[in-house]
């Protein structure tokens, strides 16, 4: 039986007004607007250079995700989903 990683809060250094972040599991978070609309997801990646945060959006009318970018901080990844 495979155990899921425990959901932990995203390590944010600042507040992000208008964005709510929900931990889905230990390495994945969902960002939403106050009305519940999903802005995208942030995933923690292990890279040869250290941990990075990948922000991504669901593709409209298609299966899969559209990467927005990789960032050194969770704050940068969350802000990238605003646009």
- The pLDDT tens digits of the residues spanning 2-42 come to 545 666 788 888 889 999 999 998 899 999 999 998 999 99
Under 8 Å CB-to-CB from 59, ≥6 apart: which residues?
65, 66
More confident residue, 54 or 12: 54
Mean pLDDT of the chain: 88
| Model pLDDT, residue 71 | 98
Are residues 22 and 78 in contact, defined by beta-carbon separation less than 8 angstroms?
Answer: no
Query: What DSSP designation does 55 have?
Result: E
End-to-end CA distance of the chain: 40
| Model pLDDT, residue 59 | 78
| Model pLDDT, residue 9 | 81
């Amino acid at each position: 039986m495979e155990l899921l990683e425990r959901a932990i809060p995203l390590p944010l250094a600042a507040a992000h007004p208008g964005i709510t972040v929900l931990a889905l599991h230990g390495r994945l978070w969902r960002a939403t607007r106050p009305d519940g609309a999903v802005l995208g997801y942030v995933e923690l990646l292990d890279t040869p250079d250290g941990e990075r945060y990948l922000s991504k959006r669901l593709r409209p009318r298609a299966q899969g995700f559209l990467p927005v970018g990789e960032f050194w901080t969770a704050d940068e990844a969350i802000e990238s989903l605003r646009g």
